[in-house]
Amino acid sequence: MIKATGIEKSYNDEKVLKGISLEVKDGEFVSIMGESGSGKSTLLSILGGFLMPDCGQVFWQGEDISTFGENRLADVRCTDVGFVFQSFRLIPTLNVKDNMLLPATLGKKASKETCDYVEELVQELKLDGLLKKYPTQLSGGQCQRVAIVRALAYKPKLVILDEPTGALDSVMEERVMELLSRINRVHGTTIIQVTHSKKVAEYGNRIIYLKDGEIDG
């Protein structure tokens, strides 16, 4: 599904990623753990095609994404890859419903199937009643769940999540993790998540540890 080879990234003079190579196969559910500042979010942004590495390559289904060009990258990100940012990145001028449907509606109207699926996710993550609100009117945990629905709305083949339960209480954390496990099992969706929680990490099939910009062990 996704493969990275020799990824290096520096910010100013600081080398944040020092040659990361990893492969995540179709249908895997992988958790990435590591100290704050170890480069997890930077790595996810590179795997998701939001940030270009200084060295190394990222392949999605065997294709080097640096050859895609902005338009194709944007298209594939909308349909095949769902991404939940650590800071959520909801669009402040759109209400909750429109935020959720955003990737699905870029250039076209969301299908009935997508709308029905989003409605199911809304019920499951207890977001009903919030659909007409704007992101600034939501709590952090509500924003996080909206961002998760947005990432899943189009049933992408790959979902990448940066601390998807960081703002949630334990009951909601369990609901989100059960949902992710289910789409992994039932739809065969490949999942890569970053978390600081061992319990959350263990919902995955494999844990990768990052330490100072390198894979540890």
Under rule CB under 6 A, residue 31 binds ligand ATP: no
Q: Does 41 bind Mg ion (CB under 5 A)?
A: yes
Smallest distance from ligand ATP to CB 62, Å:
26
What is the three-state SS of the chain?
Answer: CEEEEEEEEEECCEEEEEEEEEEECCCCEEEEEECCCCCHHHHHHHHCCCCCCCEEEEEECCEEHHHCHHHHHHHHHHHCEEEECCCCCCCCCCCHHHHHHHHHHCCCCCCHHHHHHHHHHHHHCCCCCCCCCCHHHCCHHHHHHHHHHHHHCCCCCEEEEECCCCCCCHHHHHHHHHHHHHHHHHHCCEEEEECCCHHHHCCCCEEEEEECCEEEC
User: Binder to ligand ATP among 1, 4, 16, 192 (CB under 6 A)?
Assistant: 16
Of 41, 99, 114, 193, the one binding ligand ATP (CB under 6 A) is 41
| Site for ligand ATP, residues 76 to 115, rule: CB under 6 A | 86
Q: Which of residues 70-109 bind Mg ion (CB under 5 A)?
A: 86
Taking CB under 6 A as the criterion, the residue among 29, 30, 39, 130 binding ligand ATP is 39
42 belongs to the binding site for ligand ATP (CB under 6 A) = yes
Residue 172 and residue 141 in contact, taking contact as beta carbons nearer than 8 Å: yes
Write down the least CB distance from residue 55 to ligand ATP, Å: 16
Interacting stretch for ligand ATP, rule CB under 6 A, among 35-43, 107-115, 132-140, 171-179?
35-43
- Given Mg ion, ligand ATP, none, residue 184, with its beta carbon under 5 to 8 Å by kind, binds none
Residue appearing with tokens 């940066």 = 162
- Contact partner, 188, from Mg ion, ligand ATP, none, Cβ < 5-8 Å per class: none
Which stretch in 40-48, 127-135, 178-186, 199-207 sits in contact with ligand ATP by CB under 6 A? 40-48
Contact footprint for Mg ion (CB under 5 A): 40-41, 86
Q: Which residues bind ligand ATP (CB under 6 A)?
A: 11, 16, 34, 36-42, 86
